[in-house]
Amino acid sequence: MKKIKNLGLIPIGSNAWLAKGEQPKSGSIVLIHGNGNEPAGIKIALNLINRNINWLPLNYALSGNE
Protein backbone atom coordinates (compact mmCIF):
# COMPACT_ATOMS: atom_id res chain seq x y z
CA MET A 1 0.00 0.00 0.00
CA LYS A 2 2.82 2.35 0.86
CA LYS A 3 4.50 1.77 -2.54
CA ILE A 4 1.23 2.43 -4.33
CA LYS A 5 0.71 5.70 -2.44
CA ASN A 6 4.32 6.74 -3.12
CA LEU A 7 3.54 6.45 -6.83
CA GLY A 8 0.72 8.96 -6.40
CA LEU A 9 -1.95 6.28 -6.84
CA ILE A 10 -4.99 5.74 -4.65
CA PRO A 11 -5.64 2.12 -3.63
CA ILE A 12 -9.36 1.40 -3.54
CA GLY A 13 -11.56 -1.63 -3.48
CA SER A 14 -14.87 -2.09 -5.19
CA ASN A 15 -17.97 -4.04 -4.37
CA ALA A 16 -19.62 -3.70 -7.75
CA TRP A 17 -17.52 -4.86 -10.69
CA LEU A 18 -20.18 -4.63 -13.35
CA ALA A 19 -18.68 -6.98 -15.94
CA LYS A 20 -18.42 -9.70 -13.27
CA GLY A 21 -22.13 -9.44 -12.56
CA GLU A 22 -21.79 -7.66 -9.22
CA GLN A 23 -24.77 -5.36 -8.59
CA PRO A 24 -24.19 -1.88 -7.15
CA LYS A 25 -26.23 -0.72 -4.18
CA SER A 26 -26.34 2.52 -2.25
CA GLY A 27 -22.78 3.46 -1.28
CA SER A 28 -21.11 1.03 -3.70
CA ILE A 29 -17.83 1.76 -5.37
CA VAL A 30 -18.36 0.70 -8.97
CA LEU A 31 -15.46 -0.61 -11.03
CA ILE A 32 -15.64 0.10 -14.76
CA HIS A 33 -12.69 -0.31 -17.10
CA GLY A 34 -13.37 2.46 -19.59
CA ASN A 35 -10.37 1.68 -21.77
CA GLY A 36 -12.26 -0.52 -24.23
CA ASN A 37 -11.08 -3.81 -22.69
CA GLU A 38 -14.36 -4.42 -20.91
CA PRO A 39 -17.30 -3.71 -23.24
CA ALA A 40 -19.77 -5.59 -21.01
CA GLY A 41 -19.04 -3.28 -18.07
CA ILE A 42 -19.39 -0.18 -20.23
CA LYS A 43 -22.75 -1.36 -21.59
CA ILE A 44 -24.08 -2.03 -18.08
CA ALA A 45 -22.75 1.30 -16.80
CA LEU A 46 -24.44 3.20 -19.62
CA ASN A 47 -27.74 1.52 -18.73
CA LEU A 48 -27.26 2.52 -15.07
CA ILE A 49 -26.40 6.11 -15.99
CA ASN A 50 -29.62 6.36 -17.98
CA ARG A 51 -31.63 5.21 -14.93
CA ASN A 52 -31.10 8.49 -13.06
CA ILE A 53 -28.82 7.05 -10.37
CA ASN A 54 -26.99 9.56 -8.19
CA TRP A 55 -23.31 9.02 -9.12
CA LEU A 56 -20.69 10.66 -6.95
CA PRO A 57 -17.04 11.30 -7.83
CA LEU A 58 -14.37 9.19 -6.17
CA ASN A 59 -13.02 12.13 -4.16
CA TYR A 60 -16.37 12.22 -2.34
CA ALA A 61 -15.83 8.68 -1.08
CA LEU A 62 -12.24 9.43 -0.09
CA SER A 63 -13.16 12.56 1.87
CA GLY A 64 -15.19 10.59 4.42
CA ASN A 65 -18.45 12.39 3.62
CA GLU A 66 -21.64 10.42 4.06
Q: Is residue 3 part of a domain?
A: no
Q: Is residue 4 part of a domain?
A: no
Q: Is residue 8 part of a domain?
A: no
The pLDDT of residue 24 is: 86
Looking at every residue in the chain, the average pLDDT score rounds to 80
Q: Is residue 44 part of a domain?
A: yes
Tell me which residue range forms the domain holding 38.
15-62
The pLDDT of residue 21 is: 87
- For 9, other C-beta atoms within 10 Å of its C-beta total 10
SS3 of residue 41 by DSSP: helix
Q: What is the pLDDT of residues 17-41, one digit of tens each?
A: 888 888 888 888 887 777 777 888 8
The band of 46, judged by pLDDT with boundaries at 50, 70 and 90, is confident
- What does the angle CA 36 – CA 40 – CA 42 come to, to the nearest 5 degrees? 60
Q: Is residue 26 part of a domain?
A: yes
The band of 64, judged by pLDDT with boundaries at 50, 70 and 90, is low
